Structures are given as C-alpha cells and as structure tokens.
Structure 1
C-alpha cells in the first residue's frame, strides 16, 4: 500500500494519502481518520445544514481540487489558484448568512484564507453620501476583509438609486478588487432570487467573476420539521408527538397559502423560541417539575396562532 503525506505550507493541515485515498487529516494536531471516503470530514462539517445539496457538492469539488493541485505541485506540474467568490440566491431564512459564516471557517481550514474571519456588510457600509466617499468606504471594507469572507446581503440594494446613485460606484469598486488581492479574499453577495438576477445585469463583468452561483431553495415541510428538531435539540428541548403533529399540519397549510410571505428557518426559530417561553409560563404554575417536563415542548406550548403574523 503506497502512503504519501501532503503538508500545507503553513502547517495547518497535513493529509495522509494511501493508494490515492485520503485516510487521515491532521488539523492543528487533531487527527481525523477518514477511511475510504475522502469527503467524510466535509460531510461532518456540513452535517448541520438541512438540504443544500448543490452547495455541499461544490465544497467537495473545491476540496478535491486542493488535494489534486498539491499532488500536481509535488510532481512539478502547474496548478491554478481557485477563485471562490460566490453569489447566493434565496428567500429569507434559507441559510445564506449561516452558510457564508461557515464557509469562512472551512476555507481557513483548507488553507484557502489566511485568517478565516467573517464580515457582514450592508449598503450603508459601502455607499457614501458624496463623490469619492463610496470608493473609499468600499476599499476600506475590502481591506478589512482580506484573509476572510466579506458577505453582503441584499446586495441588489446597491443599485436601487438609479444612475445618479453612488451604489453603482460601490459595485464597480468591488468588481475591480475581486481579483486584485492574491486570492486571499472571498466576496459573497446574497439576496432574493429575482432581484439578484437583475443585479447581475448592472455591470458587464459582474456575473463572470462569480464561478459559484448557488440557489437556496425554500425548505419543504419535512426539511422544516428536521430543522425544528435540530433547533430544539441544540437548546436541550424535545417536541412531543402532538406538538410535531400540530406543527406539521400548520406548515402544510401555510406553505400552500400563496398570500403569505415565507421566512423558512426564521419562522421555525421563532416557533421554537416562542414555545420555550410558553412552556416556562406553564411550568411556573407547578410545584414539582421533573426533568422530562423541563425538556418536553407540548402542542399547547406552540401557540401557533400567536405567531402567524411573523410568517
């Protein structure tokens, strides 16, 4: 069995290959044995994300390219630096911000970013009020983000003011600097699907600079139930059977109502947090409270009629 080690230049990640399969990853002296699946650690990193199949596939492609590029370098072959700028299209609550924050950590672990920090920005952080201020603010934000991820949600708002608005200057400045920093910077723009499509038409060179344009679809009911269980478990709670039945029926009705806005996982978070508060009110009337009662969220705790307005 042929064994080979790949050492990344800053010593963060050592990868052991046996017969061209990744068998061990040593990240800061923490060893993880992968076995026959070279992407097992990637699956583990992304296991908390429900759905997002396309994103997970892209991350595996990026990782595989890193490994193969290392092998090419060792054999004296050329390799190219990956451009990782991304554009996320999805409705509220589909995980765009959470994924972008996670990618900063993953790219740092992969040695693609030197710092791995995450900066979230909005229109006001880039657009100034007078000539020259916008380019200055945008460049300063990019400088701050070097080595990490700059995430701009509702990026289409940069173009909402028309031709005389300074938002277009921010877009032009972003485009200019996307490939001027040695690859040690990732820009992720995000927003509603239709608005982001229109946004891409504003600058002729904009779309070509995003090799990864990812759709974040609305969650179906089964996925929303999985997210509910996950959120409850993270807080050390559990839904009773009647609570799950009540929530599932409610979600089916709401998902089929064309007149309602849909906030996906945001709604689920509000449901869980509201149920926790209602459970606390209910339990305060009891003298003796068992551990099981402290954990269980019942159908009566959900009070879904109280939070329909935030859907």
Structure 2
C-alpha cells in the first residue's frame, strides 16, 4: 500500500501523511463520497494547523512576557525563523541546512536559563522539531557514577528519558573538573555520542556560569563545534528586579505601598552593590517570601485585619536580614 507524503504550504506544520483507503473500500465508494472524505481530511488538517499556530503564538507571547532578557528573546525568535526557513527550503526541494540545535546557556544562577529551556522544548515540539518537547533537568550527580561503567549507564538512562525533548544539564562544567581520569569525561563522551545518534530527536542544553562554561568548552576541542548556539543570560538591572518583585507580589495578591516600593528599591540596590551575583530573580524571590512572612507576623499580633491590611506590604516588612 502506498503512503503519500504531502508538504503543506503552511510553514508551521510537518508534512501531512495520507494513507489511502483499503482496496475493497475504494471499489465500493463513489467519487462523490471520496470527494467528501477528502474535503473532511483537508478541513481537519486546516483546523490542526490553525491550532498549532495558536500554540506557537501563545508560547512566543509567554516569552515576551518575561521581564528583561531582551537579547535572549531575540535569539529565540531568530531560531524560530531559521527552523521555519529550512522547512520552506525542504518543501521547495532546495538544500536545507541540518537542524543542529544543541545550545550553551551562559549566565549566573536565577537569570532565567531553566525557564527558557523549558519554553524552547515546548516551542520546538509545536514547530515539529521535537516529538514530545519535554525537558529532563539534571546535574553531575545524575550522570556520573562511582565505578567504571556506571557513568555510561547513568548517562544513557537520562538520555533515554530525554528522547523527543530537551536534556538540560546545569553546571555542566563540573563534568570536566576531575581531569582525564575522572568519570565525568566518560559522561561527556556518552553525551557526544548521543548527540550524533539522536540528532533529529534530542536537543542538549548545557548551562552554567559564563567563565566556567568557556573553560569547559576549551577542555574538549570537539565540544564547541557541536553546540552552534550560545546564549548569554545577563544579570537583571535594578529596575528589572523591582518589576520582578512587584510581579511576584501581584500574583499572590499583595501590593507595595509607595513607601515600601522605595524601601524595596533601596534594599535591592544594596544587594547589587555588595553581592557579585545579586542580579537574579532567585534572590528577589527569597526577599519577597521573607517579606510576606514578616507581614504575616506583624498582622498576627492584631486580633483582626481588614482586606486592605492583608494586601498591603509596608516598609517595616522589608528586610535584608538572612537574605
């Protein structure tokens, strides 16, 4: 039985595979019935295409809603354009570039690397690049074993889980810290092999501090060429950190008074001046959670509280202690 592959003109969809009806049905069906059936198939396909377009638009809207990350957003949209154009070229039977989409994410903790990796998996699924689009997050302990042969086994297990999606390895540079005799090298070798064997159904993202990741790539000359996409995640500015804090509070139905807004700005500025990696969302989240707890302790001392009091955050609720 012949299976026909139709490349649809819409660029958000993979080819449509149409399997003809069995022979006995073909003899008994009238041309009119066949035309109706084809019409239904086309209508169904069109509906599916529109739904996938909407999903891609929703994912990109979510990306744009992230505070900051201007360069990251642009690079993700560039990737989307690159993938779509290669699909168009393939449809026109032109030479298309191979879709090697393994990435290096460089930046301090809390700058959005994991969040963006999850979004990338979902986007590539809707674009037909990945079958599942899920993400498996792991680190050295999940890949490196304690004896010869154990590392390859553990690494293969993580790779198997990630097939059809994204394998995200945080602090990836730690795999090379032990030198030639360290089991981490065995994990790297297994990852490199898997990248070749599953290049059409796996995206590998290595993440970590900027300088450490640069050192990591230098330890293995073959790694850099296997990761053509490098994305730097900058630290957040003071205004971006304030916006993140306000968004976190709003999502929990809290609100800063004007005075508390000034107090939060003052504390965040102090943190940026005294901590080398303070410009990240994780630190803001810790500060907001501590602030909410302090507000609860303050209100708990009263026998009752108004709705406005339960919502408002005052300057006294904001503190740098133990943050």
TM exceeding 0.5: yes
Shift of 1:86: 0.9
- Check conservation: 2:104, 2:231, Cα contact below 8 A: yes
- Classify the secondary structure of the residue corresponding to 1:253: helix
- Unmatched 5+ residue regions in structure 1? 12-24, 33-38
Select the residue among 179, 185, 209 that pairs with 1:162.
179
- Unmatched 5+ residue regions in structure 2? 1-8, 17-48
Q: Give the 3 Å change call, closer, same or farther, for CA 263–57 of structure 1 in structure 2.
A: closer
**What is aligned with 2:305?**
289
Shift of 1:10: 7.4
**What is aligned with 1:222?**
239
Is 1:122 the counterpart of 2:126 in the alignment? no
Q: Distance in 2 between matches of 1:168 and 1:132?
A: 12
Is 1:269 the counterpart of 2:280 in the alignment? no
- Check conservation: 1:224, 1:268, Cα contact below 8 A: yes
Q: Distance in 2 between matches of 1:49 and 1:117?
A: 20
Q: Which digits, 9 at most, give the CA deviation of each residue in 1:136-165, with x for residues without a partner?
A: 221221121101111111111111222211
Shift of 1:235: 1.8
**What is aligned with 1:199?**
216
Normalized per residue, which structure has more strand? 1
Is 1:105 the counterpart of 2:129 in the alignment? no
- Check conservation: 2:175, 2:185, Cα contact below 8 A: yes
Select the residue among 4, 9, 13 that pairs with 1:8.
13
Q: Which digits, 9 at most, give the CA deviation of each residue in 1:38-95, with x for residues without a partner?
A: x965641213322222221121112112332333333332323421111111112111
Q: Which digits, 9 at most, give the CA deviation of each residue in 1:152-208, with x for residues without a partner?
A: 111111112222111011112111221221421111111111111111112111011
Q: Which digits, 9 at most, give the CA deviation of each residue in 1:188-244, with x for residues without a partner?
A: 111111111111112111011111111111111111111111111222222221111
- Check conservation: 2:267, 2:319, Cα contact below 8 A: no
- Check conservation: 1:81, 1:183, Cα contact below 8 A: no
Q: Distance in 2 between matches of 1:263 and 1:270?
A: 13
- Classify the secondary structure of the residue corresponding to 1:8: coil
Q: Give the 3 Å change call, closer, same or farther, for CA 159–297 of structure 1 in structure 2.
A: same
Q: Distance in 1 between matches of 2:170 and 2:12?
A: 36
Q: Give the 3 Å change call, closer, same or farther, for CA 7–167 of structure 1 in structure 2.
A: closer
Normalized per residue, which structure has more helix? 2
- Classify the secondary structure of the residue corresponding to 1:200: helix
Q: Across the two proteins, how many residue pairs are aligned to each other?
A: 284
Is 1:85 the counterpart of 2:109 in the alignment? no
Q: Give the 3 Å change call, closer, same or farther, for CA 105–6 of structure 1 in structure 2.
A: closer
Is 1:213 the counterpart of 2:230 in the alignment? yes
- Check conservation: 2:135, 2:167, Cα contact below 8 A: yes
Q: Distance in 1 between matches of 2:84 and 2:179?
A: 45
- Check conservation: 2:272, 2:279, Cα contact below 8 A: no
**What is aligned with 1:36?**
none
RMSD: 2.4
Q: Give the 3 Å change call, closer, same or farther, for CA 106–5 of structure 1 in structure 2.
A: closer
- Check conservation: 1:172, 1:203, Cα contact below 8 A: no
Select the residue among 266, 273, 296 that pairs with 1:256.
273
- Check conservation: 2:102, 2:228, Cα contact below 8 A: yes
